[in-house]
A = this chain, B = another copy of it.
């Protein structure tokens, strides 16, 4: 199967959680909107399908994945679908539900990260909601980071088949997603992370382990990995840490 990922071409964003799974598994895929317009790419490719009257199960927003005739939206849903196919999820139903449950908790965290710079409206610029963003970010850093990172640290400690994986005894899409969260938080809130990371040694080790997977290491060093930037979900505004 050759997959087609549809996502904004200039950012990691939510699409990155899917890219990491495809890359870690060495899957064949096209990152459609990043192709040249001549090759059917560009942002137009993203919008074309969402406005196509013949598509009866339209996604609400990118990212979405084409797999043959299937069109699948919502990041966690895409990973629910891809996980078993890419060898990145447990075999049993209980294990798959648990992996998905953790992914949905990551989804919540990612949404809260976005809210730190857009607490009033996604349609406004950061500069139009600065005082609110500072206030929200303070609460996020003081209350929510410890709550989420403490939770995932505990999940790592509690995994009976353990050895550094969140779910089961092998690499899963949940490990990849938590890697991405740690990388993103380090980019967005470097001072905070430097300060709190010693409290989460298992998460730090997980980030390191994932980054050293050969296929992942090759991806991260390639041009396919878009750099973090000020249009994505994880953004570095120093004033939000002040």
**B-binding residues in A (CB < 8 A):** 56-60, 70, 72-74, 76-77, 80-81, 94, 97-98, 100-101, 104-105, 107-108, 111, 115, 119-121, 123-124, 132, 135-136, 139-140, 143, 151, 154-155, 158-160
Residue ID in chain B nearest A115 by CB atoms: B115
- The majority secondary structure among interface residues of chain A is helix
| With known contacts A123-B143, A132-B119, A132-B135, A158–B58 Cβ distance under 8 A | yes
Evaluate contact between B120 and A101: CB separation under 8 angstroms.
no
| With known contacts A56-B160, A60-B151, A154-B58, A101–B77 Cβ distance under 8 A | yes
A108 to chain B: which residues have CB within 8 Å? 60, 111
- Cross-chain pairs A/B with CB under 8 angstroms, 15 sampled: A57-B101, A57-B158, A58-B158, A60-B151, A70-B97, A73-B101, A74-B101, A74-B105, A77-B97, A104-B107, A115-B115, A120-B132, A120-B135, A121-B140, A121-B143
A70 to B93, CA, bound (A): 10
